[in-house]
Amino acid sequence: MSEKIFTNGVRAERPLELSIATPFFRNDPSQLLEILSNQMTGEAVELIVIDDGSQDPLVTARVEATLQNLSVPASLITLHGNQGRSAARNRLIAGAKASVILFLDSDMAPDSQSFVADWLKLARDPTTEIAYGGFSTLQIPDCAALALAKMVAEKSDCSSASERQSRGALAVATSNLLVRKAILDDTPFDAGFSGWGWEDVDWALRAESKGHGVLHVDIPATHLGLDDVATLLDKFAKAGPNFRRMVERHPSMAALPGTKLAQTLTRVPARSWIKSVLKAIVLSEAMPLAVRALGARLWRALWAADALS
């Protein structure tokens, strides 16, 4: 894997307790890095980011300049070709120096000033193996372009810790996830997943099957990178093959409402025609938002049904 490594040369005053690991592709994580750095005063935490093949010298220069100005240990790994979500996270695991890693996506924004301190407290607890902090839309601006994605996210992703705990590994996402490095070394992400979706749940289910406890906590961050409607529909469509891989690999997937719906829809004729109608409804700003959100969920289920078929 051809790569370049940049470090800012700052040394931690004591052994590192937490590595905050952030992958990105064609976007600039500098604002997030500055927010995190401002919360890390005196803490034994490092920042490690990986550019998964953006091949944009301007982005590289901006991120390196940001890291150079930080007063905390920080490094950038630049891959010269896109390797995919799983491979990029596996490279972050290899490069992390602390015994606990917090995966935090580049388009996330901590919802509290104590975000790093709260995660560090959990990292110091030896009983914590895997912990997911949750997802919010708290900092998403009210605008028509993001209204549908915001509603869909709030319906499917923005659950409290107690609600997520009942689903265990099935409710895990790598957008805001703390894991002991020894677990990740033993159970890396599966680079066989391509495109968008499900590689994080697959990892969590495999780790849980090895006896590692999954804890859900309320240390949320806002997903600022919500998609416009067309992009959201495209991602849902492309996630079908990964969904099938999950259903074939993990029997527990059968209990999910989405799986049950997709399996039911495999028996429905004229799915292509239904998808074309749904797409028109979802893209129409004249339709009520709740109707469009329902249409988006059905669109996703129909593509999943195609994959299962």
The domain ranges of the chain are 3-226, 229-309
Q: Is 146 exposed, middle or buried (0-12, 13-18, 19+ CB in 10 A)?
A: buried
Q: At what angle are helices 289-308 and 229-238 packed, to 10 degrees?
A: 20
Q: Residue 14 has what pLDDT?
A: 85
Q: Residue 1 has what pLDDT?
A: 58
* 255 secondary structure, DSSP code: G
**Distance in angstroms (rounded) separating the CA atoms of residues 267 and 261:** 11
Using an 8 Å Cβ cutoff, are 275 and 301 in contact?
A: no
Q: Residue 255 has what pLDDT?
A: 87
**Distance in angstroms (rounded) separating the CA atoms of residues 281 and 295:** 7
The fold for domain 3-226 equals Spore Coat Polysaccharide Biosynthesis Protein SpsA; Chain A (3.90.550)
**Distance in angstroms (rounded) separating the CA atoms of residues 218 and 209:** 24
CA angle (161 as vertex; 203, 212 as ends), nearest 5 = 35
* Chain centroid to CA 239: 14
Lookup result for tokens 């982005």: 59
pTM: 0.94
Going residue by residue through the chain, which has 309 residues, state the pLDDT in tens, using 9 for 90 and above. Answer: 589 999 999 998 889 999 999 999 989 999 999 999 999 987 899 999 999 999 999 999 999 999 999 999 999 999 998 888 999 999 999 999 999 999 999 999 999 999 999 999 999 999 999 999 999 999 998 888 889 999 999 988 899 999 999 999 999 999 999 999 999 999 999 998 887 889 999 999 999 999 999 999 999 999 998 899 999 999 999 999 999 999 999 999 998 889 999 999 999 999 999 999 999 999 999 999 999 999 999 999 999 999 998
**Distance in angstroms (rounded) separating the CA atoms of residues 143 and 228:** 11
Number of neighbours of residue 161 by Cβ within 10 angstroms = 17
**Distance in angstroms (rounded) separating the CA atoms of residues 32 and 70:** 12
Residue closest to 103 by CA, chosen among 81, 117, 83, 85: 85
Residue closest to 223 by CA, chosen among 110, 59, 85, 117: 110
Q: Which residue(s) pair with 132 in the sheet?
A: 177, 216
Residue closest to 168 by CA, chosen among 129, 137, 119, 120: 129
